[in-house]
């Protein structure tokens, strides 16, 4: 029997060949100084909202959860 996935994604990690601009954006999105440690930290400092561009969910999960609920 084939198993189906309800969610999938990949690491939220900067590519080694990133441009200086991409490195700057990555730093601003993951630095403790700019996020208060919510992102890019091993210690849980607050509620984390994943970047959904690298995430997919099944229709079943979407319907059960009511879809992507953005916190703004």
Instruction: Single out the residue of 48, 46, 65, 53 nearest to residue 12, CA to CA.
Output: 53
| Cα separation, 54 vs 10, whole angstroms | 6
The whole-number average pLDDT for the span 13-21 is 91
Q: What is the mean pLDDT of residues 37-42?
A: 54
Higher-scoring residue by pLDDT: 59, 51: 59
Whole-structure pTM over 0.75, yes or no?
A: no
Q: How confident is the model at residue 68 (pLDDT cuts 50, 70, 90)?
A: confident
- What is the dihedral sign for C-alpha 52, 50, 18, 25? positive
Mean pLDDT of all residues belonging to the chain: 75
**Phi, psi dihedrals of residue 62, rounded to the nearest 5°:** -60, -45
| Angle subtended at Cα 45 by Cα 41 and Cα 49, rounded to the nearest 5 degrees | 80
Domain ranges across the chain: 19-65
């Amino acid at each position: 029997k084939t198993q189906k996935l309800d969610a999938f994604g990949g690491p939220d990690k900067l590519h080694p060949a990133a441009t200086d601009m991409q490195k700057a954006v990555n730093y601003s999105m993951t630095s403790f100084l700019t996020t208060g440690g919510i992102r890019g930290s091993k210690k849980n400092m607050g509620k984390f909202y994943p970047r959904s561009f690298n995430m997919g969910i099944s229709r079943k999960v979407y319907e059960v959860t009511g879809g992507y609920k953005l916190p703004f």
